[in-house]
Amino acid sequence: MDYTSVFTSMTRSLVEKKTFASEPFTLIDVGCSGGISPFWRVFDPSLMALGIDPVVTECERLNVHETNSNVRYRPAFVGLPDQHPFVQKRGHNEPWGGNPWNRLSTPLAIEILKPKTKKEDKLSVLNDWQNSKLADTKSKIGVDDLVQEEKLSGWILLKLMSTAMIWR
């Protein structure tokens, strides 16, 4: 069974019945490089989305090309503030352990492709965000603060990379 087409048909029907008219479908897409997925556009015109990505130039590019006035992109890092108890307890250790990156073939493939990839394609092809102009790491924002600052309300779907959660 093709769940994507079932989801799309069902959602399109709900949008046409103006189910989201009084309260739009709100998406926060953390790690939105390349733009929000066309998958979410099924909620148009009831879609309100905020894309968050640390690459400043990518957010600027996406804002210029965005056609829906209820969708915008903001350069920022999302995470717990340094004073949060979890961060304090962790100390100087990274939030992840056992990172397999150096054991993967991906770093070698990136090095091979780097000289063959046009400068303007490096972010999308090589995920070369480290060599891009990034948002200030000291101005990291938590999800609660982001929702409050952006004055978002109602049900919010929070998409973190490829994981999604409902926020209320």
pLDDT per residue as tens, the chain (168 positions):
566 777 788 888 888 998 888 888 899 999 998 999 988 999 988 899 999 999 999 999 999 999 999 999 999 999 888 888 988 888 877 777 777 888 889 889 989 999 999 988 888 888 888 788 899 987 789 999 999 999 998 889 998 866 555 555
pLDDT digits (tens, 9 = 90+) for 113-161: 999 999 888 888 888 887 888 999 877 899 999 999 999 988 899 988 6
Q: How many Cα atoms sit within 13 Å of 117 on the Cβ side?
A: 16
Put the strands of the sheet holding 25-30 in their side by side order.
71-75, 47-53, 25-30, 156-160, 163-167
Among left, alpha and beta (phi > 0; psi -120 to 50; other), residue 77 is beta
- pLDDT in the model for residue 8: 83
Distance from chain centroid for Cα 101: 21
Question: Domain locations in the chain?
Answer: 3-83+134-167
CATH topology for 3-83+134-167? Pyruvate Kinase; Chain: A, domain 1 (3.40.1380)
DSSP 8-state assignment for residue 99: -
Residue written as token pair 């063959």: 116
Percentages helix, strand, coil for the chain (3-state, rounded to 5) are 40, 20, 40
- pLDDT in the model for residue 162: 61
- pLDDT in the model for residue 130: 78
